[in-house]
């Protein structure tokens, strides 16, 4: 199924916030906070990518009430950050952690009591660094 509008949130009264609107609003807010410690650009990047998984068609079906919730939208954003920041080591891990944990807390990098961020990233890539 294809949608012309990518939805990030729907309020109880039915008001829709698109993914683009949401990402821009969060980026503005996050970069404002992070400017206090000279990291507005990193905060803006994490904010723009934090909900990328919501663009997945199965997540769009879910938010519209047309299917189950099968996509972890935070993991998708973490994977995107990790892949697109390889020239900025070790910051790709930092941004990936911020995004991956924006709802559920921060996973360990290596296997431990739960699913590690390294294993999450390796699901889509074969070369996550230690």
DSSP element (H, E) containing 9: strand 7-10
Per-residue DSSP letters for 91-118?
HHHHHHHHHHTTTT-PPPSSSSSS--HH
What mean pLDDT do residues 98-122 have?
66
**Of 28-32, 46-50, 91-95, 108-112, where does mean pLDDT reach its minimum?**
108-112
* Tens digits of residue pLDDT in 51-71: 888 999 998 999 999 999 887
More confident: 15 or 98: 15
Per-residue pLDDT band at 128 (split at 50, 70, 90): very low
Side-chain-side CA neighbours of residue 84 (13 Å) = 12
Dihedral sign, CA of 14, 9, 31, 101?
positive
Q: Which residues of 9-43 are buried (b: 16+ CB within 10 A; e: fewer)?
A: eeeeeeeeeebeebbeebbeebbeebeeeeebebb
Give the rounded percent of residues in the chain with a pLDDT score beyond 90: 37
* Tens digits of residue pLDDT in 14-52: 999 999 999 999 999 999 999 999 999 989 999 999 888
């Amino acid at each position: 199924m294809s949608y012309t509008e990518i939805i990030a949130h729907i309020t109880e009264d039915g008001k829709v916030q698109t993914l683009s609107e949401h990402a821009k609003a969060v980026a503005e807010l996050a970069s404002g906070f992070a400017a206090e410690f000279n990291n507005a650009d990193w905060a803006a990047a994490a904010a723009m990518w934090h909900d990328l998984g919501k663009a997945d068609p199965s997540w769009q079906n879910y938010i519209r009430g047309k299917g189950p919730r099968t996509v972890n939208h935070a993991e998708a954003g973490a994977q995107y950050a990790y892949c697109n920041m390889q020239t900025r080591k070790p910051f790709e891990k930092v941004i990936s952690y911020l995004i991956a944990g924006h709802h559920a807390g921060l996973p360990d990098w290596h296997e431990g009591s739960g699913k590690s961020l390294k294993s999450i990233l390796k699901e889509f890539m074969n070369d996550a660094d230690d």
